[in-house]
Amino acid sequence: MTRKRENLWFDPYSKRGAHQTFIRMVWLKSVKIKEIKQRLLQDIEKLRSPAGYLNAGHPRYNTLFGRDSLISAWQMLNIDPSIAKATLKILAKYQGKIINPVSEEEPGKILHEHRFNLTERKELPKWDFPYYGSIDSTPLFIVLATEYFRKTGDRAFILRIKENLLATFKWIKNYGDMDKDGYVEYKRKNPYGLLHQGWKDSVTDVLKIKPPVAIVEVQGYVYVAYQSLIFLASKLGREDIYFEALRRSRTLKENFNNNFWMEEKCFFALALDGEKKQRKALTSNPGHLLFTGLISEEKVKPIVSRLFKQDFWTPYGIRNHSSMEPDFDPYSPHLGCVWPHDNWIIYKGLQNVGFIDHADKIRKALLKTFKELGKIPEFYTVVNDRIVDLSTLNAKNVLSNPLQAWSSAGLLEMIWDG
């Protein structure tokens, strides 16, 4: 009888044996997840500045970036909210106060990057630092402040940065919306600065859009900023801000769903150009709208469905540019690569609109990336369903950071409660 029980225990084809095998597999998987969490936490600690915010990456961009630091702080909010507080504090300190075309500073604007190192600053002699060439850092500042307040209830800190928040709202109205059409646009002031100033930033016209550019995902960030201001105003007793933000959000939602929607493609355009014409490329950017609430309800399902078709979807995540586009290049950072932070924002949006299985598909794809590469770099590419690590020297001369805050923090957030 004893021998029979032992055979049952080790026989994977028996009912009890299969159950025990399953338990062992789950246990081994949980050990691996714990190891990955530990590795990611260590990576994030490498990027934590003495002031508590996260530097953008290593070895490049090992300094304060507005967009990157805000998004990685948002990703870490349920894990370590002190990072968000430190990020808001440092960005409030360097918030724009004057008009300076060389640095692209404007009153209320949140910086794009700050090179504290003198050697790094000399490498970019035609820029002033802090440099403010970013269209999305400012609305994201409002979003993170509100999410931090929701998470911690730290009213005292929100009151400390209240004037900074009001200044960001004024920037959106007075400088961000250049032609007062309700959209926030960018057009560089410094001819040597960034031509494109969304997350697909570049000094050249890689996106092929004539400025001023109303890039699609930023309209979503602005919409969330308005919703955030509505919430903060209700808590702080500012009826004037409450009703103005409410009015602006309603107008933006109505106009956006008409002006950016490409009826023939059942998808949102990448941008409106300087002539208010749609840049009709199929990109991952509209996926950022899923967390915002800006999309009309009937447009949600077509957006989700399109992002998981073969021209976007890979076994390692969603490409940022459709392979059906004529300028698609799998090795181009902005015209075909896979960015973990891009996938994380889409992942959060999918959760927000109830597409849980689709979100889990992204989580598994990024986990697969980490397991195969032993890291989660800034970006990578997928060719013939095989991942190509671009964070090492390669024939295409495209170099991705092996360590990037919003990649590591994004994957960590995905698996933190799993």
What span, in angstroms and rounded, lies between the C-alpha atoms of 379 and 356?
24
3-state SS track over the chain? CHHHHHHHHHCCCCHHHHHHHHHHHHHHHHHHHHHHHHHHHHHHHHHECCCCCECCEECCCCCEEHHHHHHHHHHCCCCCCHHHHHHHHHHHHCCCCCCECCCCECCCCCCCEECCCHHHHHHCCCCCCCECCCCCHHHHHHHHHHHHHHHHCCHHHHHHCHHHHHHHHHHHHHHHCCCCCCCCCECCCCCCCCCECCCCCECCCCCCCCCCEEEHHHHHHHHHHHHHHHHHHHHHCCHHHHHHHHHHHHHHHHHHHHHCEECCCCEECCEECCCCCEECCCECHHHHHHHCCCCCHHHHHHHHHHHCCCCCEECCEEECECCCCCCCCCCCCCCCCECHHHHHHHHHHHHHCCCHHHHHHHHHHHHHHHHHHCCCCCCEEEECCEEECCCCCCCCCCCCCCEEHHHHHHHHHHHCCC
28 found inside a domain: no
One digit per residue, the tens of pLDDT, for the chain of length 418 reads: 333 333 333 333 344 545 555 555 555 456 689 999 999 999 999 999 999 999 999 999 999 999 999 999 999 999 999 999 999 999 999 999 999 999 999 999 999 999 998 888 888 999 999 999 999 999 999 999 999 999 999 999 999 999 999 999 999 999 999 999 999 999 999 999 999 999 999 999 999 999 999 999 999 999 999 999 999 999 999 999 999 999 999 999 999 999 999 999 999 999 999 999 999 999 999 999 999 999 999 999 999 999 999 999 999 999 999 999 999 999 999 999 999 999 999 999 999 999 999 999 999 999 999 999 999 999 999 999 999 999 997 878 899 999 999 999 999 999 998 6
Q: Is residue 29 part of a domain?
A: no
User: What local confidence, expressed as pLDDT, does residue 4 receive?
Assistant: 35
pLDDT of residue 5: 32
pLDDT of residue 123: 85
Q: Show the domain range for 58.
A: 35-415
Q: Which amino acid is at 357?
A: D
Identify whether 355 is part of a domain.
yes
User: 184, 210 in Cβ contact below 8 A?
Assistant: no
How many other C-beta atoms can be found within 10 angstroms of the C-beta atom of residue 51? 11
In the chain, what's the furthest Cα-to-Cα distance?
A: 86
Domain assignment present for 20: no
CATH number for the domain including 303? 1.50.10.10
Using alpha carbons only, give the angle 405, 57, 40 rounded to the nearest 5 degrees: 40
Lookup: tokens for 268: 């949102």
For residues 65 and 194, give the distance between their C-alpha atoms in angstroms, rounded to a whole number. Answer: 14
- Does 5 fall in a domain? no
Q: Is residue 166 part of a domain?
A: yes
pTM: 0.93
Question: Is residue 328 within 8 Å of residue 335, measured between CB atoms?
Answer: yes
Q: How many domains does the chain have?
A: 1
Look-up of token digits 């997350």:
199
pLDDT of residue 131: 98
**305 within domain boundaries:** yes
Q: How high is the pLDDT of residue 393?
A: 77
- The answer to whether the beta carbons of residues 389 and 377 sit under 8 Å apart is yes
Task: Judge whether 12 lies within some domain.
Answer: no
pLDDT (0 to 100) of residue 36: 96
What is the pLDDT at residue 118?
80
Decide: 127 and 102 in contact? Cβ < 8 Å: yes
